[in-house]
Structure 1
């Protein structure tokens, strides 16, 4: 009760808050310390795994190829996504540090949503890479040159950042009445919008448009790419050739499933799971941010022979 009293503004009029308060996982406050253990372990594994991937690709010349450049980008994005939210979440769990300035909240939200979109766009670019490698292998080297990869990266970055830029400005113009308590571990767009005391239909609509236009289109084109890839693979004469072609897509398919399944599940529960307990929503949202960055390096490390061999040599203290 004392906490709630401290989290409310002194009057009911609209205000431009300087501080918001994050609850962590509502309803499970007594278990925060225990919940922090798997959170911390997953975060540590994500940092170590992605740093290992980046170091391995950087130091091994044979990995300086389009697929591994895209994998490096994926590792950087996963690092940014996890470090944007997890340190603040752990400070809530460990030190009850719930305060976050309004500006810091907007910055966190911007990085969260823009890099989530960027990862989706990168997975589409990686699907294009696999499509060219399997359906037009003779044109692979001439199609995916270093300059083309750099342009793809810049376009993906612009596509992720530009639609999200208006969100902080739209939120900064809203009045916030009464409680400034965000029922979440981090500043997510809709969680902040719910605190406004005016009509927020435009904010809701804009958020949906961004999601459909970016993630929805990406998923559609990824599916189309894999339909074409599947046709090309099934047209191969021998079973051995088919298995070899499928194996080149295994890691990427794993990354797609790791990213989109939790994302779709979280969105579905958020939109339609009105009877689902709030802590389930929050746990799913955190799982969506923690699990893919942790597992992606493992998937690529296990499925990609060049990375696996290089990492084994690295840990044995050998060099090429």
Structure 2
């Protein structure tokens, strides 16, 4: 790719949250650091529990495992740079590094969408076809579907980067965002954005709305199936299991679809509001996913309590040895 197209822009500057007063930079960086720390610890705990408890080697928990890996990677890719902007006033990112970040932002977002699709598939089969569930959704099947999700998710983001990288970036190099994404970068191109934004928008909608359509179908089917359960306690238990996943899915899909639609159909709202919405759907689900699954999934909750109990006993034994 020719460097001449972007010879006047060698690096980008992440604007972060527009209008944020410098006196709040320290507080903002500390808050973002805490979010990253909680996200990393919570999702790493899921990985640890999975590695040390054979009772979690089930299709649903394999899906949660992939979701945790994806959330750790996404948070590690995006948060340290914006934290360093407010903590060390280091908000610049090289031209190539910005496009690398853009690729992984959209790649991991696509993987996340596919994993949520698998989660909905798991719940649909477990509730609507419980007798066939063990034969249809085996561990080997989940492995195959998960690997397929990670592989097929590469194509779309790669196409977006290949098309956006050679554009002439000869005006502002300030990205009105907390990380590099396709919309924020291509807005800086000194050319008509439509030939590049429309295919990217279509791809994003397919990636989002395709899985979302099945997710909606699956949960409607689940509600219908649950309504036929005579036992009210059974109905509440099933709905409780699915409701938390539905909340997470809503947090992921609804704001994302709104931002993509708004940027392509000329719905105008402040840059600050846009970035806050994006950061909420980017940061909140990865942070709360493990908390919800550890508290609501019986096997994972019991595994967590067992590990905590072991740790408590170990500490008491160490104290006893020292005191003696």
Partner of 1:224: 217
Q: Deviations over 1:237-259 (max 9, x none)?
A: 22122223223323322321232
Alpha-carbon separation, structure 1, partners of 2:10 and 2:160: 17
Alignment of 1:236-275 (within 5 A): 236-267=229-260, 270=263
Partner of 2:6: 15
Partner of 1:24: 16
Q: Deviations over 1:86-123 (max 9, x none)?
A: 00000101111122111111110111111111111111
Partner of 2:102: 109
Match of 2:198 among 195, 205, 217: 205
Q: Deviations over 1:31-77 (max 9, x none)?
A: 22222222111111111100001111221111110000000001111
Alignment of 1:1-320 (within 5 A): 15-16=6-7, 17-30=9-22, 31-267=24-260, 270=263, 276-318=269-311
Q: Deviations over 1:229-277 (max 9, x none)?
A: 1111111222122223223323322321232244245446655786533
* Divergent runs of 4+, >6 A: none
Residues 208, 257 of structure 2: 8 Å contact kept: no
Residues paired across the two proteins, number? 307
Residue 138 of structure 1: SS of its match in structure 2? coil
Higher relative contact order (CA 8 A, sep 6+): 1
Residues 251, 304 of structure 1: 8 Å contact kept: no
Name the TM-score, length of structure 2 as normaliser.
0.89
Residues 250, 303 of structure 1: 8 Å contact kept: no
Alpha-carbon separation, structure 2, partners of 1:256 and 1:262: 10
Alpha-carbon separation, structure 2, partners of 1:84 and 1:186: 9
Structure 1 unmatched ranges of 5 or more: 1-12
Structure 2 unmatched ranges of 5 or more: 314-324
Residues 201, 264 of structure 2: 8 Å contact kept: no
Residue 20 of structure 1: SS of its match in structure 2? strand
Q: Deviations over 1:165-213 (max 9, x none)?
A: 1111111211111322212221111111011111221211012111111
Residues 18, 102 of structure 1: 8 Å contact kept: yes
Alpha-carbon separation, structure 2, partners of 1:29 and 1:272: 31
Residue 87 of structure 1: SS of its match in structure 2? helix
Alpha-carbon separation, structure 1, partners of 2:226 and 2:81: 46
Name the TM-score, length of structure 1 as normaliser.
0.90
Residues 63, 115 of structure 2: 8 Å contact kept: yes
Alpha-carbon separation, structure 1, partners of 2:265 and 2:202: 18
Structure-2 change in CA distance of 1:232 and 1:294 (3 Å): same
Alpha-carbon separation, structure 2, partners of 1:146 and 1:313: 24
Alpha-carbon separation, structure 2, partners of 1:33 and 1:161: 36
Residues 56, 299 of structure 2: 8 Å contact kept: yes
Residue 160 of structure 2: SS of its match in structure 1? helix
Residues 177, 196 of structure 1: 8 Å contact kept: yes
